Structure 1
């Protein structure tokens, strides 16, 4: 009997986790998204300069996010970083995404480990596609990225303002160090 209770509890816990991580597709965006994103121009490698650490990527150094548009319209993503320092072991995550809102192309979905899906909002992208700010609808996760490994303090603060103006949890955003900073 106890074995069945434990199995039911485990299934319920996994189900609750999946519901929490999945996001609500019917939920209206609660912040201003980029007006329009040219998906092809957005592809390529971005250097992560600020992010909200998760248990998977806490203490990330030299973090990059690379997007590749596949023939089926899906977006293969490769997130790489060194764990714990410049001499840390390289870690790689490969979520797969797709454009959810095809009118603006600013709202994506990312599938992690083939199990759960999470919303991914492009809040800002510069006209020359050299800077971007990404967020989650709950305003608890965010990323500041550029096409260069170097980002001055003034530009970093300006990009942080994009999050602050949308009421993101700024105390959780951490600066990512890159070799040569």
Structure 2
């Protein structure tokens, strides 16, 4: 999986809305999915994945993997540890220069995430990102657009 040349980690930190994904098992019915990153004092990246399962009114679920940047990758390849000792591959394959949109993939091309700093994208911008996902070797027919509704409705 190709990765971007360099990532400014402090600039990358913060919240990213999941716009579309070829989802992993836990997120296959996610609504209002948001992935947030924060630098830890030990240099690792505390990740919080927050979503509602199946509807906007479902309870919020969270996961808290820890990212470890792989040396020599321009800070664009991480290991995301959900359970010790296994680290899932996390490759920043595309990142626009303004740090507004990102594509995160894996070498197996089994999962991919299109994320943005805002909960929605213009249709043309979304289509361009889907085309980039296809150029990375993914079957884009497997992409699932993640429903986003903000502010969140009250149950």
In 2 relative to 1, CA 85–39 (structure 1 residues): closer, same or farther, beyond 3 Å?
A: same
Question: Of residues 53, 65, 69 in structure 2, which corresponds to 1:83?
Answer: 53
The structure 1 residue matched to 2:109, chosen from 136, 139, 158, is: 139
Whose helix proportion is higher, 1 or 2?
1
Aligned residues: 151
Cα distance in 1 for partners of 2:70, 2:54 equals 34
Moved runs in structure 1, 4+ residues, more than 4 A? Answer: none
| CA–CA separation in structure 2 for the residues paired with 1:153 and 1:85 | 23
Q: Over aligned residues, Cα RMSD in angstroms?
A: 1.5
| SS in structure 2 at match of 1:117 | strand
> Which of 59, 67, 76 is the matching residue for 1:97?
67
Question: Is the CA contact 1:140–1:169 (under 8 Å) kept in the aligned structure 2?
Answer: no
Larger RCO (alpha carbons 8 Å, 6+ apart): 2
Aligned with 2:89 (options 119, 125, 134) = 119
CA distance in structure 1 between the partners assigned to 2:143 and 2:85 by the alignment:
26
**Higher relative strand content:** 2
| Distance (Å, rounded) in 2 between the aligned partners of 1:81 and 1:144 | 15
Q: TM-score, normalised by structure 2?
A: 0.92
Partner deviation per Cα, 1:123-150 (whole Å, 9 max, x = no partner):
0111011110000110111000000012
Q: Which runs of 5+ in 2 are unaligned?
A: 151-155
3-state SS of 1:56 partner: helix
* Displacement of 1:54: 2.1
Q: Compare CA radii of gyration and give the structure with the larger one.
A: 1
User: Match of 1:149?
Assistant: 119
Scaled by the length of structure 1, the TM-score of the pair is 0.79
Give, in whole Å, the separation in 2 of the partners of 1:47 and 1:58.
Answer: 15
- Unmatched runs of 5 consecutive residues or more in structure 1: 1-30
2 CA distance for matches of 1:103 and 1:95?
Answer: 20
